[in-house]
Structure 1
Amino acid sequence: MKKWGLVLLLLICFPFIYKGVAQNVSNEGTDFWAVFPSHDPSLDPVTRLPALANITIYVTAKTASFVTVTCGSATPISKSIPANTAVPFVVNRSQAYIDQTEANQDAPYNNRGIRIKVREGYAKVAVYAHIFAGFRSAASLILPVESLGQKYMSMNYTQTLGGNNLLTLVATEDNTSLLISDKGTVKQINFQKAGEVFEYMAVSGRDLTGVTVEVDPSSPDNCNKRFAAFSGSTSVTIGCEGQRDLSWDPLFQQLYPTVSWGKEYGIAPFINRRYIARILAEESNTVVKINGVVTATLGKGEFYTTEEKIEGIFVSASKRVSVAQYSLTQKCSGIDGFLKHGDPEMVLLNPIEFNIKAVTMFSSTAEAIEERYINVIIKTKARNTFRINGALVQNGWKIFPSNPDYSYQQLPITAVSSNLSASEGFNAIAYGFGDAESYAYSAGTNLAANNYLLINNTVTNIDAPNACIDQPSDFKIILPYIAKKISWQLNNEAPIIGSLVYKEVITTSGEIAYQYSLDQDRKFTELRTEQVKVIAEAPNDNDCLVGDIEYNFEFEVYPIPTVDFSLGSLSCPDTELPFTDMSNSNIIDKPINKWLWDFGDGETSTDQNPKHLYKQGGEYTVTLFAGLDDGCMNETVKKIIIAPKINAGFQVAAQGCKDTDLIFTDQSSVASGTLIKWTWDFGDGKTPVVRTSKEPFAYQYTQSGTYTISLVAETANGCVSLVAQHEVIIYDLSTSDFLLPEVCAEDDLATFINKSGDQNGNTAGLTFTWNFGDPGSGAANTSTQVNGSHKYSVAGQYIVTLTVKNTSGCSTILKKDFTVNGMQITAGFDILSPTTTCGNKVIMVKNQSTVNIGVITKIAWYMDVENRPNEAIIDEEPEAGKEYPYLYPNFTTPFPKVVTIRLVAYSGTKCAEIIEKQITLQPSPVLVFDSMPDVCLNIEKMTVMQARETLGVPGQSSLTGPGIGADGKFNPVLAGVGIHTLSFAFTTADGCTDTVRQTITVNPIPILTIDSEIFLLAGGKRKIVASAVGNGLTFKWSPSTGLDRDDVLNPTVTGEEDITYTLTVATAQGCNIVKLIKLSVLQGIKPSNAFSPNGDGANDTWLIEYLETYPDVTVEIFTRQGVRIFYSKGYAEPFDGNFKNEALPVGTYYYIINPNNKKKSITGSLTILR
């Protein structure tokens, strides 16, 4: 027998109870109405005629169903609907389409509505409408009659390109009266029959967003009337401001009644594209936030439109709002603002609070849709439960930055029908893009309703929209008013008068409603669709007339779930054990979505596949309660044996020393079974050590510090213990070091300098013990002094040991080999250079000293012991065969010099041997080469006086280098500009040589370009044309007669007589050049009397020599008739024989040349030849 008492107790603690304030109205139903509104057709690319669109209705269902589509007088279309399949119904265009000329009429059009009806007794379906042709595409989710409302507000977009906003209405009941409120103007529309359609179209492209349409409150039975409303545009462009040649598309969406609006919306971007959002307020003083930031405060019917966006955003409002998302015109729709396939589309989004847990949706490929996607928004914690066609979607989720509780996904799809499901509710839209066309619509939703039915399972006390087979149920109805009378009728049974006792509840939309109950304990024994009819008498309030209102509901009888689970292969204490749910709801496409696990140890979980850790071994009873959040649940019980608990433990000293063995002893145990493996982690970052024996072992730490040691023990059945831990402190060792002295057997003491210290180099607190390796010396062989001293009597090899101990008790021992050198030294050296050599040459000597035991510890070289006895070269690390260079100082006498070289070799302080040899030094020249001044490139050859030998020894000298000629003189021209190195060499009669070097700089002279003769018309003036290259140039003209300046390169010159100028150009270094320039003054203008402008390159223009030196001259040319055909002030551009870009004819013309400088004008004839 099932323990339902326990179940009910657990249901209070865990979220199985169906929230009584929720609604059971969704986009699935049995009766639907759609319309085919106006649109602007595109042109067929071949015929150039309008490509008229058609409308196709697509029907899907979770389980098999049967549907009939009717419209006007067209033959009804009936089809079977297989589960999870989108079935198309092509509607007769002539019967459904509303032409733009038919909009705004006085009365609706008969039978234009498209009705989609499920055959009685068959499963609910979901319906979508798609309008398409040529480059036009638009689609919408179609809502069932039970989800329709009494009030809507139009959602459109700012109109462009001559299209028009529209609002299309269809009556679902006879005798429906509606009011359209548009900016203070109210229009009444009376529908005689269900299926009549009225289209309200904006004038002159006005935006209809915010226009309200509602049931006339004064009409009969107004509180029971519902109708469907659709909004959009005949065609529109969105975005691409300022661009030309834009494509456009119609907009088409069924509106949600205002009661189904919400306060929170997530908006996921269209994949790889930009989008715009619009937010419409139902009431005044609605505060709108985007990503948590206040963006707008809206009045009733006002809206806010975002800028173009590419990222996901989260919209929240203080009161109910409607939110639309728009794709952009193709030319600018890409994320980068450039072309991306698609076109304008509008999709009305569902608020977060109205979500679904499972839906079968349709994705169209018509007309030429190339890309299809689904956007999904779900709570972040539930996103890993989301499935498409049964497959989990675990990658690619993005979190809303402003609301991390929610995530979104953009899924590319290829199937026409897709089944979406998750453990918690989600919102989704389907959309597609092609070349200049697109569609988008809600994948499905739950909707708000002001009246709905709940089934109360009296076994589980769960309220749900459906009943469970063979479990008693009561009934509840939620009404928006307090009923005066209420009756219930189940299927076709006799009516039952119900109780008027009610309970106030708050609906999802935040409004107060009234719950009435019918206690029946009714059991349903068949899995089928049941019907309930409720008739309630409404009061006369809220503008609703008194009278009976009839509500018809359908609900399903669901099977009881089959509950089962599996366990992990190991059942060990202190280890997470995985539990895997294997339950089945026994309903197609409706998986289990609620779980409660009781692990038998006082712990529970609501995860689907939890992991649980048992702390003790033994037998436990595990109970799983599983079911659906809309009512049906079941349980299963299994027993589990948990292996005995393992107690891990070990012993180790609390302190230790670095690089020193630390002993570990295992103390682990288990009540039954055998320990086979121990995993040790010593906390030092190294790979844990796995041992298969519990015998004690040693381990060394290489660094000081505090370490946490962890041990996990494992038994033969694979169970592992909890971690056992101990801390150990590892102390640093001292640094041991000492210096070895160099002694021989004759020395008094060998003193060892101690260089030891702690980790900081200090000796405080350290103790030292020396062993000198000379046991024959008795007690003197050891010492505790800081620096050890010992007298060795015999030459030979010894081992010296130093032990250093710190305050932590850590000791280090250092041993070094030590040699006491012998006393029998053989001093010797070789002179590698000639015994007679030049005094300025380096000589080489080689050490050849040895000792009978040990090594020579030091040698001292005295290179001129007689004259400089205190100057020595000391080598503390000598080797036999080592060579030493030496250069003697210059001596200034012209005579040879004999010097004595002494070598002293040591094997200790008191053990030494001396040897001496002589060498003769010849006098060497002493040279001087003084600095030389800079010279200019154009000076004469010069004798170099700065180089000389100063000692006066006989010999020969030579001077070489750039610019030195055969005569020994320096020629700057030969050397060239730049810095040059000259070498002075001297060789004595004995062959001793020396060389010194010095540099000299040759500076460049200016480079001057100028004509040697300049011509000028008498009384004229001209700027002298010249150029000069050089560094820091200065200029001087002499004389300055006729010049405007005499210190510039290009003065302006005037004159009446010939004159010769001297121009001097100098650089900053003082290098200059001088040039003579003659000014030749011409005493008159000499124009030619003919020229031939025929394009052969010779005499193509009328050239007049030096006329440009008259800057104010005017030149005029006339025809024989006195027509002026040329005029020029100045003559920079000579006459080319053309007038107004036309060649003048061959002939004679006349000219006047006026110098305008007090000179007489010149006249004459000019003949043009061709």
Structure 2
Amino acid sequence: MCYRWGLMLWMLSCFLCFAAEAQNISNEGKAFWAVFPSHDPSRNGNTGIPALANVRIYITAKVASEVTVSCGTFNPAPVPVPANTVVWVDVPRSAAYIDEITDVNRSVPGKGIHVQVTPGHEKVAVFEHIYAGARSAASLILPIEALGREYYSMNYTQDQSNRETSKNFLVLVAANPDTRLIVHKKDGSTFPVLLTNAGDVYEYMPADREDLTGVYVEIDPASPDNCNKRFAAYSGSTSLIIGCNGSRDPLFQQLYPPGSWGKNYGVAPFKDRRYVLRVLAQQDNTQVQIDGQSYTLNKGGFFTSAELTEASFITADKNVSVAQYSLTQACSSVNGDELIGDPEMVLLNPVEFNVKSTTLFSSDQQNIDHRYINVLMKTSATSTFKVNGQVLSATWNPVPSNPGYSYTQIEITDISSYLTANEGFNAVAYGFGDHESYAYSAGTNLAANTYFLVTNKITQRDARNACLGQESDFKVILPYLVSKITWKLDDGAEEEGPLNPKVITASDGSLSYAYSYDKNITFSALGQHQVVIKIELPNDGSGCLSEGAEFIYPFDVFPLPTADFNVAADNCPDTEIQFTDLSTSNLPDHRPLNKWLWDFGDNTTSTAQNPKHVYASSGPFEVKLSVGLDEGCMSDVKTFTIHIRPKINAALSAPANGCINKEIAFADASSSAAGPMVSWQWDFGDGSAVSIQQHPKHTYLSAGTYTVTLITRTANGCQSLPAKSEVVIHSLPVVDFTLPRVCVNDVAQFTNKSANVDATTAGLIYSWDFGDGTALAADNVSTQVNGSHQYRTGGIYTVTLTATNANGCSFSVSKQFTVNGGHIRPAFEVENKNALCSNRKITVQNKSTINSGKIIRLVWYIDNAEKLTVNDPDPDAFYELSPPVAISPAAQTIAIKLLAYSGDNCVEPLTENVTLYPAPALVFDPIAPVCLNSAIFRIQSARETLGIPPQNSSYSGPGIISADGYFDPRQAGVGTHTLTYHYSSAAGCEESVTQVVTVQPLPELDLKRDIYLLSGGEIRIDARASGNNLRYKWVPATGLDRDDVLNPVVKIDEDREYTLTVTTGLGCSITGSVKVHLVSSINAANAFSPNGDGVNDTWVLKYIETYPNVAVDVFNRYGEKVFSSQGYSVPFDGNYNGKQLPVGTYYYIINPKNGKKLIKGALTLVR
């Protein structure tokens, strides 16, 4: 047992230890440098006043802390930061803003925003939000220890508009005095930058809107103390569009040093929106795969994706940086339509640098309406993700190209959110408003050159912190070999350490080196300590590291947790037992435990907090629990002995096979050292009710394989595990047969329709019982497939067929049938037998009878021609027979014969002769179409063709005005009408026939009765006509320009009357007349009153329209022309040039222009 518990301690140490890639540096720290870069403001649409940007610094911490935010002369009092909340500080624009006119492309002192944790307080995380009217941006801010000595700019291509204010920038801020930098431009040229003091800034902004992606900045390797210098870098755009025109937004992100780049990135889409990716390489020949597509990038080179809507996964063989961009509002939705928001850039963290917890802010400044968090993590761990301590109820979507990772999109309303999970995740916080947006990484474990671990000598595990009262050693992991290393703990003396590191090979083949400092130090009090490590490297030309470096690593001494749990002491075997954790972390901040290891004493373990466990055997078991937490310590082992009662061995006896609807017997065969069984639960596997009998019987209703389960209990209350057995239930055969229709003279043949459930007949055997009590026993049964038997006596018999399949399952079907007698008395009656006509059905009524059974069939004939067969006829039923067609006017005698059957060999005939009178044979020839105004005429195109003398004949229908066929088209009206000719013979046989007649419409004509024409004038006759394919004829033709058109022009020298005939294409005509009167001269009115009263408002010249070329001029008394008209379609209304003429006398001249004299006179205008 001691050996096994030692194994458990080793397992726990592995369970709690950090992987070789664990990091000390994250986005949490104690000192930060931020900047407020140039910003292109939006302008008020009404006033044109720009909305100048503001900057706000957000601070959050997992443990309560305190910070000061300062910039230049702005130096307010420290701000308390409660645990897991967000506080913010607004930095004055005047102190921090880098002006795009006066401050770019030069070193500017004191513009860096400095965030400093008060000494003695805990680390914090910092975020920055720049916001203005409709242009926002945000970024995660890195602590000083995460800063690097080189950066690559990440921007986006500016559109080619002429906006001078839309430019890309790269801002550099010093973390140390005398920071000397070299900027490597994309054309290969360089220029130096000197930042004299910490907090000095340099904003590089080319004048030509150059895309700065790939521009490289490093600390000048020739500058003094360059190895101990760090600086921060920020990149972005003052404003730009992405994807389409319409609106702009700035880009702003703090850059990660290449050591913090990665090789694997998961990308979740922005909520309901498209996005673009950009991948940037640090080294030549970098192989990148995006969703399975391969690309090769060189140093400073980048790839920009198309617009994407689904999640993506990126892998590379060397470190790369990845940025995600949202689009301009007008085209940002997944369908390319408008959706609120504007361009934004966020630098993503690789999945290898994930976090397990973070507190983030989600700003609602300025006019941000919707705020989201994208979370990406391993699919297997999504159930552990929580927001503010609550398990997330959102949908997780697998990444299509890498389903091992899933993402979710959470819409939130709180400014502050606390995210946690049992495994690492990457998160992006972002927000959208009308034409504005922001986005930033929600936290990361950043790559660094080194990391520091404390080795617990008791548990042999590595952690970031030491444990109270337990011996500890130290180690540091470096990516290179050193020539010398020294260690200093707190205020102790500096000691040189051994140079025999353990070599660690990563999954990508890269090497790291673990240097140990074995001192067996035991800490007796809680508190914070630090180790200072100094190294020297061989002078191998690797740059500044050959001069040595110093690393300061703070760590804490944590108390041991206390393991405790609750469980029932006495339990049943094979039953789930609940173990409840009662352990405490003993940390001052009451941080909860997150690691548990249970040993249940039966060679099984669990890492759940509150596990459930089943013991498979009886006896006492010693349960052990040890607990711990990330970055914390492992507890001592808590032990407790529980007792498991004797095991129950449930067993059952059941047949292997059975049949549907056949009862099956089951038997209990269980045993236990605890005594006999006292209860039973049988589940027969078919959904039926549970049986509590010890030895039940059961009937299955469907075929199939069923699992029978038995659970038993003993008197001590313990329950067995289920005992199970399978039973195969076979289908019954499907039994059916057809009954014959027989009489006493027939042999009854029964047709077998039986089959297996699969419609085959293989393996079936049969047994027939004919139910004939008068037959010998041997003759009353059969094993043939199809049975046959002759019944000697008529009556009702029950026939039974039993079929048995290859599985021994049988089924029987019984049917009753009738054996009919042989004494048949056929009989029938003919309706109206003395008035039968050849054009009407002959109706007969069955009157046949039989001594026993029933008549099964009637067959009817007329003159030996079969007319009708009736199966299973009803007594007294009526039937109709078709008579032969008449071919002469004479009556004929026909024979109606009936055959009545009670079986195939039992039949009786009956014949009766009747007289059949011929029906008239009528013909109605077609009638030619007629016009509506045609005269009444007689129709005589219908006749009888057999020569049968008429008793009566007549015509009827629309337009028929007498029975002898006179037709009036006007009474019938326009259209096609059906006429009927009816004919009856002396024998009462009647027939009728129909034919159609079409009455054609007349054309319509509208013609004025009188027309007036000035002497020497002409006019077109105003006539209107309608109809199809019309023709026209005017009489006389004298004075007309044409006599075959509807509207000829007339010119006469005396009064004349004209007649017009209009004819349709079908020959239907109508006429009309018009009288043309000749007027000798124009009768011009000598006054008119254009006052708007509707009377004499214009100067009327009657019939002047008959002078089509007439010229009318009106002059005032000064000889000035105030009206002139060629033709007089618009009469003079007393206005000139849109103004009313004054009352007075005017003069006119009318020129007919047809050889007639001018007409002159005076005209008085009154109002």
Normalised by the length of structure 1, the TM-score is 0.81
Deviation at 1:1084, TM superposition (A): 13
Does residue 197 in structure 1 map to residue 201 in structure 2?
A: yes
The whole-number CA distance in structure 2 between the counterparts of 1:896 and 1:44 is 110
SS of residue paired to 2:426: strand
User: Does the CA contact (< 8 Å) of 1:138 and 1:251 recur in 2?
Assistant: yes
Instruction: Summarize the alignment of residues 652-671 of structure 1 with structure 2, pairs less than 5 Å apart.
Output: 652=655, 654=657, 656=659, 661=662, 663-666=664-667, 668-671=669-672
Per-residue CA deviation, residues 599-641 of structure 1 (Å, 9 max, x unaligned), is 6666667677777777767766666665446574456666674
Going from structure 1 to structure 2, the CA distance change for 1:979 and 1:48 (only over 3 Å counts) comes to: closer
User: Does the CA contact (< 8 Å) of 2:859 and 2:866 recur in 1?
Assistant: no
Per-residue CA deviation, residues 528-567 of structure 1 (Å, 9 max, x unaligned), is 2211112223455334286453321112233444556778
The equivalent position to 1:182 in structure 2, one of 164, 181, 185, is: 185
Query: Match for residue 27 of structure 1?
Result: 27
The equivalent position to 2:710 in structure 1, one of 710, 713, 721, is: 713
Segments of structure 1 that go 5 or more residues without pairing to the other structure are none
Q: Which amino acid aligns with 1:68?
A: T
Q: Which amino acid aligns with 1:955?
A: Q
Name which of structure 1's ranges 378-387 and 1113-1122 shifts more when overlaid on structure 2: 1113-1122
The whole-number CA distance in structure 2 between the counterparts of 1:801 and 1:76 is 107
Query: Match for residue 743 of structure 2?
Result: 742
Q: Which amino acid aligns with 2:959?
A: G
* Percent identity of equivalent pairs: 39
Going from structure 1 to structure 2, the CA distance change for 1:178 and 1:521 (only over 3 Å counts) comes to: same
Query: Match for residue 973 of structure 1?
Result: 970
Going from structure 1 to structure 2, the CA distance change for 1:770 and 1:1025 (only over 3 Å counts) comes to: same
User: Does the CA contact (< 8 Å) of 2:743 and 2:794 recur in 1?
Assistant: no
The whole-number CA distance in structure 2 between the counterparts of 1:553 and 1:476 is 11
User: Does the CA contact (< 8 Å) of 2:735 and 2:803 recur in 1?
Assistant: yes
Segments of structure 2 that go 5 or more residues without pairing to the other structure are none
Query: Match for residue 997 of structure 1?
Result: 993
Deviation at 1:720, TM superposition (A): 3.5
Does residue 983 in structure 1 map to residue 980 in structure 2?
A: yes
Query: Match for residue 935 of structure 2?
Result: 940
User: Does the CA contact (< 8 Å) of 2:564 and 2:583 recur in 1?
Assistant: yes
Per-residue CA deviation, residues 778-819 of structure 1 (Å, 9 max, x unaligned), is 755455667666665555554444555667766554444455
Name which of structure 1's ranges 627-636 and 965-974 shifts more when overlaid on structure 2: 627-636
Does residue 68 in structure 1 map to residue 68 in structure 2?
A: yes
Going from structure 1 to structure 2, the CA distance change for 1:409 and 1:570 (only over 3 Å counts) comes to: farther
Instruction: Summarize the alignment of residues 991-1030 of structure 1 with structure 2, pairs less than 5 Å apart.
Output: 992=988, 994-1005=990-1001, 1007=1003, 1009=1005, 1028-1030=1026-1028
Instruction: Summarize the alignment of residues 426-465 of structure 1 with structure 2, pairs less than 5 Å apart.
Output: 426-434=425-433, 437-465=436-464
Name which of structure 1's ranges 772-781 and 185-194 shifts more when overlaid on structure 2: 772-781
Query: Match for residue 725 of structure 2?
Result: 724
Instruction: Summarize the alignment of residues 285-684 of structure 1 with structure 2, pairs less than 5 Å apart.
Output: 285-294=285-294, 297-328=296-327, 333=332, 340-434=339-433, 437-479=436-478, 481-503=480-502, 505=504, 514-540=513-539, 541-544=541-544, 547-562=547-562, 627-628=628-629, 630=631, 632-633=633-634, 641=644, 644=647, 646=649, 648-652=651-655, 654=657, 656=659, 661=662, 663-666=664-667, 668-672=669-673, 674=677, 676-680=679-683
SS of residue paired to 1:146: helix
Deviation at 1:144, TM superposition (A): 1.2
The whole-number CA distance in structure 2 between the counterparts of 1:1047 and 1:753 is 95
The whole-number CA distance in structure 2 between the counterparts of 1:1101 and 1:309 is 80
Going from structure 1 to structure 2, the CA distance change for 1:431 and 1:889 (only over 3 Å counts) comes to: closer
Going from structure 1 to structure 2, the CA distance change for 1:1066 and 1:581 (only over 3 Å counts) comes to: farther
User: Does the CA contact (< 8 Å) of 2:1098 and 2:1134 recur in 1?
Assistant: no
Going from structure 1 to structure 2, the CA distance change for 1:1048 and 1:642 (only over 3 Å counts) comes to: farther
Deviation at 1:490, TM superposition (A): 0.3
Query: Match for residue 210 of structure 1?
Result: 214
Deviation at 1:1000, TM superposition (A): 0.8
SS of residue paired to 2:529: strand
Going from structure 1 to structure 2, the CA distance change for 1:1043 and 1:458 (only over 3 Å counts) comes to: farther
Per-residue CA deviation, residues 220-255 of structure 1 (Å, 9 max, x unaligned), is 11111112223334x424347343xx4x55444322
The whole-number CA distance in structure 1 between the counterparts of 2:1057 and 2:285 is 98
Per-residue CA deviation, residues 474-520 of structure 1 (Å, 9 max, x unaligned), is 22224455433321110111111122334555689986554432122
Q: How many residue pairs end up in the alignment?
A: 1132
Name which of structure 1's ranges 65-74 and 337-346 shifts more when overlaid on structure 2: 337-346
Instruction: Summarize the alignment of residues 1139-1150 of structure 1 with structure 2, pairs less than 5 Å apart.
Output: none
Name which of structure 1's ranges 211-220 and 308-317 shifts more when overlaid on structure 2: 308-317
User: Does the CA contact (< 8 Å) of 1:67 and 1:119 recur in 2?
Assistant: yes
Going from structure 1 to structure 2, the CA distance change for 1:261 and 1:790 (only over 3 Å counts) comes to: closer
SS of residue paired to 1:223: helix
Going from structure 1 to structure 2, the CA distance change for 1:50 and 1:836 (only over 3 Å counts) comes to: closer
The whole-number CA distance in structure 2 between the counterparts of 1:1027 and 1:410 is 76
Going from structure 1 to structure 2, the CA distance change for 1:324 and 1:609 (only over 3 Å counts) comes to: farther
Q: Which amino acid aligns with 1:229?
A: A
The whole-number CA distance in structure 2 between the counterparts of 1:152 and 1:1101 is 97
Query: Match for residue 224 of structure 1?
Result: 228
User: Does the CA contact (< 8 Å) of 2:764 and 2:803 recur in 1?
Assistant: no
Name which of structure 1's ranges 630-639 and 416-425 shifts more when overlaid on structure 2: 630-639
Query: Match for residue 86 of structure 1?
Result: 86
Instruction: Summarize the alignment of residues 122-137 of structure 1 with structure 2, pairs less than 5 Å apart.
Output: 122-132=121-131, 137=136
Query: Match for residue 960 of structure 1?
Result: 956
SS of residue paired to 2:199: coil
Deviation at 1:46, TM superposition (A): 11
Per-residue CA deviation, residues 17-65 of structure 1 (Å, 9 max, x unaligned), is 4222442110111222233344455679999876665544332221223
The whole-number CA distance in structure 1 between the counterparts of 2:22 and 2:39 is 38
What RMSD over aligned residues (CA atoms) do the two structures have, in Å?
A: 5.3
Deviation at 1:109, TM superposition (A): 0.9
User: Does the CA contact (< 8 Å) of 1:596 and 1:626 recur in 2?
Assistant: yes
Query: Match for residue 258 of structure 1?
Result: 258
Q: Which amino acid aligns with 1:946?
A: S
SS of residue paired to 2:28: coil
Normalised by the length of structure 2, the TM-score is 0.82
The whole-number CA distance in structure 1 between the counterparts of 2:1073 and 2:848 is 86
User: Does the CA contact (< 8 Å) of 2:868 and 2:881 recur in 1?
Assistant: no
The whole-number CA distance in structure 2 between the counterparts of 1:116 and 1:933 is 111
Q: Which amino acid aligns with 1:940?
A: A
Per-residue CA deviation, residues 959-1007 of structure 1 (Å, 9 max, x unaligned), is 21111113641223322344433233345667x3624130213053463
The whole-number CA distance in structure 1 between the counterparts of 2:787 and 2:706 is 42
SS of residue paired to 2:742: coil
The whole-number CA distance in structure 1 between the counterparts of 2:22 and 2:129 is 31
The whole-number CA distance in structure 1 between the counterparts of 2:95 and 2:709 is 80
Name which of structure 1's ranges 992-1001 and 957-966 shifts more when overlaid on structure 2: 992-1001
Deviation at 1:259, TM superposition (A): 1.7
SS of residue paired to 2:936: coil
Deviation at 1:1046, TM superposition (A): 11
Q: Which amino acid aligns with 1:382?
A: A
User: Does the CA contact (< 8 Å) of 2:768 and 2:799 recur in 1?
Assistant: no
The whole-number CA distance in structure 1 between the counterparts of 2:196 and 2:777 is 134
Query: Match for residue 920 of structure 2?
Result: 926
Does residue 173 in structure 1 map to residue 176 in structure 2?
A: yes
The whole-number CA distance in structure 1 between the counterparts of 2:748 and 2:1004 is 84
Going from structure 1 to structure 2, the CA distance change for 1:361 and 1:1114 (only over 3 Å counts) comes to: same
SS of residue paired to 2:145: helix
The whole-number CA distance in structure 1 between the counterparts of 2:1129 and 2:671 is 116
User: Does the CA contact (< 8 Å) of 2:353 and 2:445 recur in 1?
Assistant: yes
SS of residue paired to 1:690: coil
Deviation at 1:399, TM superposition (A): 1.9
User: Does the CA contact (< 8 Å) of 2:741 and 2:856 recur in 1?
Assistant: no
Per-residue CA deviation, residues 201-221 of structure 1 (Å, 9 max, x unaligned), is 443654444333321111111
